Structures are given as C-alpha cells and as structure tokens.
Amino acid sequence: MGVHATLDAFDAMIKNLNSFKDLQEELIKNLKKSYEQIGQVWDDEKYKQFGEYLAPVYKAGGDSYIAMSDCVSRMNVLRKSLEDYLNS
C-alpha cells in the first residue's frame, strides 16, 4: 500500500467515524423530540415509565458520542504523525 493510499485510508476511517457519531447524535435528538411530542398527549405514570426505558438509550448514545469523539481526536493525531513520518 502506498503512502497516499495509507493516508487516504486514515481519512476514510475518520470520515466514517464522524458520520456515525453525527448520525447517532441526530438519532438521540429525534428520539427525545418524539418522546416530548408523545408527552403532549400522554402524560401519566406509564408515559414516565416509557421515558425510563429510553434513559439507558440516551446514556449509551452520549457515552458512545464521547468515545467516538475521543477516538477521532486520537486518530487525527496518529494520522498527522504518520504523515510527518512518511514525508521525512
């Protein structure tokens, strides 16, 4: 694999991680919005219980977003290090 192809592969991985991270963030936002819309009509103990079922999903999404952001940051540093190495 050539130098350019290696850097392109890094770029593709970073792009895919960013796309997944953004998609996941949008999904959580849409779930919350839908839950709030349902709550405008249905606001009792069962509705609150339904919200409790969604809470782990929101938390997992948030935790995943943080992990993905950290991964992207680290990959950008590694990519830069590789690029510097390959260009020296």
SS3 annotation, 24-60 = HHHHHHHHHHHHHHHHCCCCCHHHHHHHHHHHHHHHH
CB 20 within 8 A of CB 56: no
In this structure, what token pair is assigned to residue 39? Answer: 């709550």
Residues spanned by the domain of 11: 3-87
Q: How many domains does the structure of the chain reveal?
A: 1
CB 58 within 8 A of CB 28: yes
The CATH number for 44's domain is 1.10.287
pLDDT at 53: 95
On the CB side of 78, CA atoms within 13 Å amount to 12
What stretches in the chain show pLDDT beneath 50? none
pLDDT at 19: 96
What are the tens digits of pLDDT across the range 71-85? 999 999 999 998 898
Predicted structure pTM score: 0.77
